[in-house]
Amino acid sequence: MAYRLVAAAASDVGSYRETNQDAAFASSWGAAVADGVGGGPSGDLASAALVHRLVAGRVASWTAQALRERILEANWDLRAHAERDPSLRGMATTFTGVFLTDADDLLIAHSGDSRAYRVRDGRFERQTRDDSYVQVLVDRGIIAPEEAATHPRRNIITASLGGGEADVVAVAETSLRAADRWLLCSDGLTDYVPEDDVARTVVDRARTPQEAADELVRLALEAGTLDNVTAVVCDVMPVENASAPERVQFAGAAEGRFAEGLDEDELWEAERTA
């Protein structure tokens, strides 16, 4: 059986930031969240450039190797930006995405501390491991998992994409089922909204993907998030109309940057979030 994603994204700059450094896209074949690394220059450029390069460079049939190579090619574009403009050196972004394969599996690509969660049979489970200093402390038993969200060094990450030769992205394959629901999000959500509240929102199938994404962003703002916040919610559905045009929704920094480079003659088109 062939599958597609019914996916939607929501993003907000938040009340304490001047620039939204999160970027996201949602489509029938894949979705992702990228979060520009705080403390570095032009995180919004890094996240938006990576997301747009991936969407523009999608291939007909994703494999783990093809996806890894495409992400690293997009990463090299970040280096090209920095070589043209030295003030951009050091810019970087996290990346977490899900992509369908022709074999009816799902690929999860991950670097940094943005997260992917899956809802299957009513169970909400995290599918990625944070590449972060705090996660190392948890893994070594130095702090308890519940302490991670409030640890003063929780924003220190141990992996990201910034155009470096040594940058890596993990790509894993997982099974796919109709009615699975996926959440991709930046840490502006998970650092401020308890995971149980996130789970209740995502598990509630009465909410469409767009309604769930919007509600998660609202919860983060209500919780006083000090960061940008982005959520992408994807429902796995059987393909019913293979000839339907493909659409890509951009959010956050990707909503405005590089939109002029989209080819209107392609089968997909950009749809801006409200």
Residue with the two structure tokens 């405005």: 256
- Side-chain half-sphere exposure of 43, counting CA atoms within 13 A: 22
What is the Rg, in whole angstroms, of the alpha carbon atoms belonging to the chain? 17
Q: For the beta carbon of residue 60, count every other beta carbon within 10 angstroms.
A: 7
Positions of the chain with pLDDT under 70 = 39-41, 60, 241-245, 258-274
- The predicted pLDDT at position 46 comes to 95
In this predicted structure, what is the pLDDT of residue 201? 98
Integer angstrom CA distances of residue 47 from 77, 96, 149, 160, 215:
11, 11, 23, 11, 23
pTM, entire model: 0.90
- Identify whether the C-beta of residue 119 lies closer than 8 Å to the C-beta of residue 204: no
User: What pLDDT is attached to residue 229?
Assistant: 98
Q: Hey, what domains does the chain have and what are their CATH numbers?
A: 3-272 (3.60.40.10)
**CA–CA distances in Å: residue 207 to residues 210, 213, 222:** 8, 9, 19
- pLDDT for residue 101: 93
Give pLDDT, residue 148. Answer: 75
Q: 92: number of CA atoms within 13 Å, CB side?
A: 22
Per-residue pLDDT tens digits for 110-169: 999 999 999 999 999 999 999 878 877 877 888 887 777 778 777 788 889 999 999 999
Say what the pLDDT of residue 5 is: 95
Q: What's the chain's length in residues?
A: 274
